[in-house]
Structure 1
Amino acid sequence: MTATSDNERLVELTNAVIAQMSGTPSTRLREVMECAVRHLHAFAIETGLTPEEWLAGVAFLTATGQMSSAHRQEFILLSDALGLSAVVNLLQDGMGLLQATESSLLGPFYREQAPLYQNGQSMAVRCTGPQLQLKGRVLDCGGNPIPEATVQIWQTDSEGVYDIQRGLEMDVRGVYTTDENGRYHALTVMPKSYPLPDDGPVRRMLNAQGRHGYRPAHIHFLISAPGHKELVTALYIAGDRFVKDDTVFGVTSEQLIVTPTLSAEPPSPEVSTISYDFHLAAGEDTGGRVGADVSSLNY
């Protein structure tokens, strides 16, 4: 069989798969799946994918699914490590949201129903470490304060570990509500850079690629308010050795890098402070909300 006839058969096969999708009721689903098939087939052809390599890929994806649970979304971690999550965020930021705060990765350790706190209360219940206060405002893109916005915050402890990884009840995560001037105020501990979990397929992939697998110290925010698009973002601590080399490419903007400063305000002059104003775009989207709780996924 000639190379030309082989190529023709490959093209015919791709077209046959796409033809079977032609009756898909959803125009968008048909568009996405047709594009996925074309690129997947082209990937296999370009790399000359062998049966052994194909099977290894199937085993890897199977292990990724088996590692996922109500407390950890390994597929989100895989998407992060391949830069896909960052690509989707950058695309979203470019869709008419240029005046809104830039988004960042949700990550695999977001949890629903975190504890509710009053402004000024600490969300560090059990962990210890250098204190940090977070304060600022939630504004619309015109600079107007948004009262009663919901500000969800979560992070590692001062040793670089999430509460889920310790098997503990929720800690260093909480939900705050902005006051009539759009202000939020949370007390916590200083986060620390950390390696991605070393017990799953994503970390094994990083090891095989010779990557360090570390994330810079950061604090996650998920902010929502009626009439505004939900914001999923994070603030990254300046000076962290991985802030310019994040293994999941989450630091997509210099505007998300912050430098804690000492403040003369309460709780004490020795407590570092991060002051940051977030801007929400108008709309009703809740894109990006799905986190580690796989029961939230629709498929």
Structure 2
Amino acid sequence: MTRSTDIVLTALAPAIWGSTYLVTTEALPAGYPITLAALRALPAGLLLLALTRCLPPRVWLGRVFLLGSFNFALFWVLLFVAAYRLPGGVAATLGALQAMIVLFMARGWLGTPIRAGAMAAAASGVVGVALLLISPEAQFDPIGIAAGLGGAASMAAGTVLSRKWQPPVSALSFTAWQLTAGGLILLPVALIFEPPLPPLSMTNLAGLAWLGLIGAAATYALWFRGVARIEPGAVSMLGMMSPVTAVVLGWVWLGQSLSWVQLLGAVIVLGSVWVGQRANRPRLDPIPAAALSRV
């Protein structure tokens, strides 16, 4: 497949993740963030394990649980804390900083050069998300800000390490390992810190099925496939598709209004994503003149 096809397939994942806010608020019981995160991760991971019939080797268990923590357990818990303590726009804008954090982590862990164009694209994307989502009356909570920044750093670490540690298995198996590990980490935390779930309605079950089967199993398989094929900086820029989808769904599904500032923010985000793909593209080293002279 071409790089463009890989980018489009990978972008589907964060675009679908943009439905998480709508599904959570409209279809799931409120007040059980860790329990719902565990129910999103663990059943999906176990289902993929049953389908792929591929268990991680013992030497990979430490890495798998670390990745499951960064990409799912720690990330989702901090994400919910930020969402509860901050206006949604502020939380999403802090999450958009992930693209900038990835550039520095990839430099330290993978030796990837930090390019000015990539940094500019990431910074402008954060500005676009802020215009898209932050309202003038937004208030800032220190704990919420710390959780938002921690969540961005956790997902950034998971993205870069998923590129650094590539097991010789399919993206679907790699996804199954991480989802299961993340769910196993979340499950005891939910049992200790949250009350039991109330009886679930058909709407609740449909919401969980969407978030688990589509919003976790299918989309993260696409995401990790992209992480293995595309530069970390380029992949992280695609994550900015999520708030754009969330705003569009709010407009279409909930009848929320869109201001010209939000439309400008959406244009900036999409432009930044496009520029980010070009800026992060690996450059081919020129053939030395001495080599050409010998041809």
Q: Same fold (TM over 0.5)?
A: no
Q: TM-score, normalised by structure 2?
A: 0.26
Indicate the structure with greater helix content.
Answer: 2
Compare CA radii of gyration and give the structure with the larger one.
1
Indicate the structure with greater strand content.
Answer: 1
Q: TM-score, normalised by structure 1?
A: 0.25
